């Protein structure tokens, strides 16, 4: 098997790269990398392996310089004859930003990107499978407080919290139109956060939002809403298992399912022990976000209900000497809280049946161990590029 992998320098793609490189069935892995030169690309790939001491084999791990958002990307891939022995494409790269200011680039990278990859894939005579890393959240925000099945998406009538999930839905639709079903494997992870192995996670993607909640302590979200969260090691193991097992379906949720679901309340209780000096977590109505934003602007009107939480307002005054920083954090956290309140759990029966895997460790259980890494997170860097 010769794989063309996109997103190998990212959170999930990096884990997939290391896991796939360990499989005997895999011969070469061509990795699409954004880099200034071949040397720079190799350094970036080496770094992926070095993080947890895995072996980098330059004969098998081959960088391909490129940028998904470019319109002549397919032409460049077609012209590169080395890539013509590719048998499997694993498309993990995406612009995952939730911020409205990045909507255009999100659309360009995620929609133009897959469109160009599809054009190229149609020229590959030996292509066996196009693995598309989608997201379970393409079901949109109309479904609340229940278990969601794979068949419910893609639904073009769904309303989306952010442009990102819309573009991921479009990617699935475009792929299904272009290639025969037997050549497609769509995997839809839920929220991938942290690592259930007791080591530093490959990336702080989404853990950034937990650390922001950890700083705020007074959180405008329903803490009891069910959350579907999985660790990166489970996500990668599930996807690679599907690539090599006998599959009965072409679309799978890569999720916690009901058995291993969690909630904001369970997660914050799990991490609280690491921060005994901070005020206790308190969940309040999501409508209070507007009041919190007004407070950060110094414009909270007299008589606001938020004054009932005086201890937290005093704590914020000490913690956020520059309230502009707090405003940046709140704006970036907004869509995360909207997702957290939907109460969506994604059925994982197909995944567990076909791979024989057990459900992942619940997030509140493994995040209790990972809480010690939260202090390493630069929340402002996360908020600027959420």
Ligand X SMILES: NC(=O)c1ccc[n+]([C@@H]2O[C@H](COP(=O)([O-])OP(=O)(O)OC[C@H]3O[C@@H](n4cnc5c(N)ncnc54)[C@H](OP(=O)(O)O)[C@@H]3O)[C@@H](O)[C@H]2O)c1
Binding site for ligand X (CB under 6 A): 6-7, 9-13, 32, 34, 67-69, 92-96, 109, 133, 135, 168, 189, 191-192, 203, 205-206
Answer for the pair 17, 52: CB distance below 8 angstroms, yes or no.
no
Strand stretches in 83-219, DSSP E: 88-91, 129-133, 146-148, 184-189, 191-192, 218-219
Tell me the two tokens of residue 133.
């890393």
Of residues 153 and 203, the one with the C-beta less far from ligand X: 203
Phi-psi region of 257 (alpha: psi -120 to 50; beta: other; left: phi over 0): left
Distance of closest approach, residue 135 Cβ to ligand X, in angstroms: 4
In three-state secondary structure terms, 135 is coil
* Exposed/middle/buried for residue 331 (C-beta within 10 Å: 0-12, 13-18, 19+): middle
DSSP string, 324-338: HHHHHHHHHHHHHHH
Answer for the pair 371, 193: CB distance below 8 angstroms, yes or no.
no
Pairwise CA distance, residues 303 & 292, whole Å: 14
Pairwise CA distance, residues 291 & 284, whole Å: 11
Distance of closest approach, residue 34 Cβ to ligand X, in angstroms: 4
Of residues 190 and 214, the one with the C-beta less far from ligand X: 190
Q: What is the dihedral of CA 31, 16, 200, 46, to 10 degrees?
A: -30
Distance of closest approach, residue 6 Cβ to ligand X, in angstroms: 6
**174 to 66, 97, 98: CA distances (angstroms):** 21, 21, 22
Pairwise CA distance, residues 203 & 92, whole Å: 15
Nearest residue to ligand X on Cβ basis: 10
Distance of closest approach, residue 320 Cβ to ligand X, in angstroms: 27
Of residues 194 and 343, the one with the C-beta less far from ligand X: 194
> How are beta strands 262-263 and 226-227 bridged, if at all?
antiparallel
Of residues 74 and 326, the one with the C-beta less far from ligand X: 74
Distance of closest approach, residue 66 Cβ to ligand X, in angstroms: 7
Of residues 196 and 316, the one with the C-beta less far from ligand X: 196
Distance of closest approach, residue 225 Cβ to ligand X, in angstroms: 17
Distance of closest approach, residue 294 Cβ to ligand X, in angstroms: 31
Question: CA gyration radius for the chain?
Answer: 21
Distance of closest approach, residue 105 Cβ to ligand X, in angstroms: 8
Pairwise CA distance, residues 77 & 192, whole Å: 30
Distance of closest approach, residue 70 Cβ to ligand X, in angstroms: 8
Of residues 261 and 296, the one with the C-beta less far from ligand X: 261
Pairwise CA distance, residues 73 & 33, whole Å: 13
Pairwise CA distance, residues 68 & 200, whole Å: 29
Of residues 192 and 284, the one with the C-beta less far from ligand X: 192
Of residues 257 and 312, the one with the C-beta less far from ligand X: 257
Of residues 94 and 284, the one with the C-beta less far from ligand X: 94
């Amino acid at each position: 098997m010769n794989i063309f992998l996109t997103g190998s320098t990212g959170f999930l793609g990096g884990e997939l790269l290391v896991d796939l490189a360990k499989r005997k069935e895999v011969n070469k892995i061509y990795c699409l990398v954004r880099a200034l030169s071949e040397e720079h690309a190799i350094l970036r790939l080496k770094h992926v392996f070095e993080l947890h001491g895995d072996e980098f084999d330059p004969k098998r791990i081959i960088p391909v310089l490129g940028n998904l958002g470019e319109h002549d990307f397919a032409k460049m891939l077609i012209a590169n004859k080395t890539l013509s022995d590719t048998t499997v494409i694993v498309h993990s790269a995406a612009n995952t930003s939730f911020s409205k200011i990045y909507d255009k680039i999100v659309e360009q990278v995620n929609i133009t990107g897959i469109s160009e990859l599809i054009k190229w894939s149609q020229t590959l005579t030996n292509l066996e499978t196009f693995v598309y890393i989608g997201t379970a959240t393409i079901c949109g925000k109309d479904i609340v407080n229940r278990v969601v099945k794979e068949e419910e998406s893609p639904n073009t009538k769904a309303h989306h919290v952010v442009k990102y999930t819309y573009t991921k839905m479009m990617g699935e639709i475009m792929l299904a139109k272009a290639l025969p079903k037997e050549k497609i494997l769509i995997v839809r992870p839920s929220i991938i956060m942290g690592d259930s192995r007791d080591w530093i996670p490959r990336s702080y993607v989404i853990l950034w939002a937990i650390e922001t909640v950890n700083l705020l302590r007074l959180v405008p979200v329903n803490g009891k809403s069910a959350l579907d969260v999985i660790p990166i090691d489970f996500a990668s193991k599930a996807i690679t298992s599907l690539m090599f097992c006998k599959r009965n379906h072409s679309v799978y949720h890569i999720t916690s399912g009901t058995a291993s679901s969690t909630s904001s309340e369970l997660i914050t209780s799990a991490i609280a022990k690491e921060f005994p000096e901070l005020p206790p977590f308190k969940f309040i109505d999501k409508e209070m976000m507007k009041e919190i934003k007004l407070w950060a602007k110094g414009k909270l009107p007299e008589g606001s209900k938020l004054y009932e939480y005086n201890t937290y307002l005093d704590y914020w005054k000490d913690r956020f000497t520059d309230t502009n920083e707090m405003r940046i954090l709140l704006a970036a956290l907004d869509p995360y809280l909207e997702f957290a309140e939907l109460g969506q759990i994604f059925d994982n029966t197909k995944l567990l049946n076909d791979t024989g895997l057990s459900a992942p460790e619940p997030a509140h259980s493994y995040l209790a161990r990972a809480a010690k890494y939260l202090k390493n997170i630069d929340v402002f860097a996360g908020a600027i590029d959420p």
